[in-house]
Amino acid sequence: MLSIDLYYDWDAFHAHYQTSLAPGMTTLLGASGEGKSTLLHLLGGFLQGRGRVSFQGQALEHLLPYERPISTLFQSDNLFPQLTVWQNVAVGIAPSLSLQAEQKAKVSWALKQTQLSDKADQYPQALSGGQAQRVAIARVLVREKPILLLDEPFSALDPALREEMLALVNDVTERFDMTTLLVSHMPSEAVFVGGKVMLIEKGKIMANEEASVLSGGQIPEVFSHYLRMTTAS
């Protein structure tokens, strides 16, 4: 269980995130500027907030980003352009890139899982957007961190490819019993991936429900305003 009770202030933005996440997929919805990315940055340790965050009883707030049991995937720029695909994954195990035989086998395994074995020697510039994000997912696999944070990583991809990537994340989450938090501004993504859905407004978690509530006949009132806004825009 990932337990969150975090405060963050920036000018007129006063966030107090209070919730807990069970293993599995959770999609974090909310309009622009409501505080989705801020929450991910606080969890990842890239922003300094106040309060507590713990995973399976272990306090995380004093840990540096690389010490936390967390991998983060951003919208873009997840790869090092000067490194090959293989090296971009290997760097998740050892920044020096000097790997033991067993670790090398793990990189090959992760590339196979993400269907990138034939791209191992290529550089990121030669990849499509979807392939580049798959490399980033392969690195997540070798890092073996139990928490995965995704900040709209597939929003630049076309809808079919986006679904393919979401299915891959879903599969990885299930197989490795991960706790995955996906930032999105598309309610349809929450329905597609299943699991839980959270709604954020002005730095507060307003709802944390089964994602199926968004596809049922009776959508909870708390989501109605947000859904009206997204369908209107």
Residue from 14, 20, 33, 112 touching ligand ATP (CB under 6 A): that is 33
| Rounded Cα distance, 194 and 204, in Å | 22
37 binds ligand ATP (CB under 6 A): yes
By CB under 6 A, the residues from 173 to 212 that bind ligand ATP are 185
Residue from 19, 26, 27, 38 touching ligand ATP (CB under 6 A): that is 38
| Shortest Cβ 61–ligand ATP spacing (Å) | 18
How many residues touch ligand ATP (CB under 6 A)?
11
| Rounded Cα distance, 40 and 149, in Å | 7
Residue 179 dihedral angles phi and psi, to the nearest 5°: -105, 110
| Shortest Cβ 33–ligand ATP spacing (Å) | 4
Contacts of 105 (CB under 8 A, 6+ apart): none
Contacts of 92 (CB under 8 A, 6+ apart): 139, 140, 142, 143
Per-residue x/- mask for ligand ATP, residues 131 to 170, rule CB under 6 A?
----------------------------------------
34 binds ligand ATP (CB under 6 A): yes
* Comparison of 16 and 185: residue with beta carbon closer to ligand ATP: 185
3-state secondary structure of 204: strand
Rounded to the nearest 5 percent, the helix, strand and coil shares of the chain are 40, 25, 35
Residue from 10, 46, 66, 80 touching ligand ATP (CB under 6 A): that is 10
| Rounded Cα distance, 139 and 221, in Å | 39
Binding site for ligand ATP (CB under 6 A): 10, 13, 30, 32-38, 185
